[in-house]
Structure 1
């Protein structure tokens, strides 16, 4: 097992650089776990915005009733009524809405007139303005209805009826859609998505390091002159690649039990492991292809970074697929990383089994294609050197 032993000696020599990518991945996974925990929404409560009311019609019962209604649904702030003070209060956020009730508004409104109107001042695109306008529209709409339908009703009775009607509220029930297994959060699936970056980099660095050693012309000539059969050499090299690939896959996937222990019984766990194992085979075949083309250590590091980062950015790892443009999506659909992430998203969305199997088969197709290309290149190189 000389070749097998040399294989892991080379791996140990390059272990430090590979650990860098593992640490980066784990850092991303930990940050995602700590800062992106889903917030459980269990209840709804309305918020009160801060308003200032300038009531120049304070002697009127209707205007006072409207101000009392606003006080129940908003926080009325006392501010100076001069123009500069009001502008400063609005600018510095002391109030979000300024309502001016002109003198004579109540009498004009109850007679059905529209000669004297309410005046408001708000910040542009203020949500508080929408909320306060809605409250005022409800109050004035009911008051107008009562005034028109019951001409003899007193102002006090009108205000009482309006307030009683506005007390009627609908019950709000918040519900969330959950999958069959509880305690499933987005960070669990994000872990397996971020795994692609580290997996690709580590596999390229590991496998290409081995191939650059064994494919060196002097080493190849020495192996050919040795008593070691060519079949034994290839089998030991193949076994070393399989052990290395499975070890990388097991280590990267194993950390999920540390960061997400609550997801151990998740129904999607098996499919996520299968999907990541298939992607490991894809990374192995890509690494074989790259290893058959490069001879420089510097080129090796550049390609590892370009492939791992480039595929991660265009395939939905660092940028969600739904945010990618149509052109980028079309380009990324020709990469195995895109289909790996797509399969995870289908699992997360409780999609049908067919799209999930389809995504895994496409990845296997990529792995086979890269392997065939590598074999063709290797055969041409042997023919050239013969």
Structure 2
């Protein structure tokens, strides 16, 4: 395997370098051909790089900047004041060819806006979308998009999301003729708003795509569809709801101290009853659906790989986001999507 360099915005996220730096080290330990450009405040980064092996140290490069984009900054303000920020410099490193991908846990809107301006969408794509892989209860995987990049969408946007999701699933999941579904408030054709109905009509006419109809929120992890399409507002809420429920359920059955301190759930009659009712095999499957392993939503539809990690990601989760970016860069997913667009 040849050398691969990825640019990281290490200042992004709720905790910043205290998570992103240990995660970077872990990613390097797991991938001997990986090199990382760390964009951030040197004074916060250096103290976290103690006791590194010579191999790890030679594969880390600190790119100092004292400026960062805050998660709570308004999009227009963030973009106007992005010059010299850790996020912008990481993206610009990809533009210049110094890195093959960018990873950030920072402001989603700013990452989307800067990536679209600096890296440019693929020819024929109006709006890039955030896409993520979801595990299913059957041990398989599906993809969801958009997850927050585009709050207001047209039917054409959702159609393009379905198209990009198909190409992504074919190349990253190895699926053949993957099933596409629209997330809706019911499975009946009469259900839904005008956007969903108009998108459904477009997809019905595209016989090269395997559109199977509507899917409801209670079936997102049931493996009924390979590609689940929706606008960013709905998708972001759906994804975070799934992650929150899974994490809380795992904490409940493990007797996590944070849960005990807040609600004393595991000591209650309800908690004991839930443990008894929840079959051991089902609990094991739930544990296997670890949200940390699926941290990182990719901005597909761009000329380069950009991965957005959750702002609240822990060390393991952020290292998974780096690994995901490395995989997509090595597989040259942007180019495969471009070729796929011409095919469809």
Which TM bucket (shorter chain)?
Answer: under 0.3
TM-score, normalization by structure 1: 0.19
Structure whose CA Rg is larger: 1
Q: Which has the higher contact order (CA 8 A, sep 6+)?
A: 2
TM-score, normalization by structure 2: 0.20
Higher helix proportion (structure 1 or 2): 1
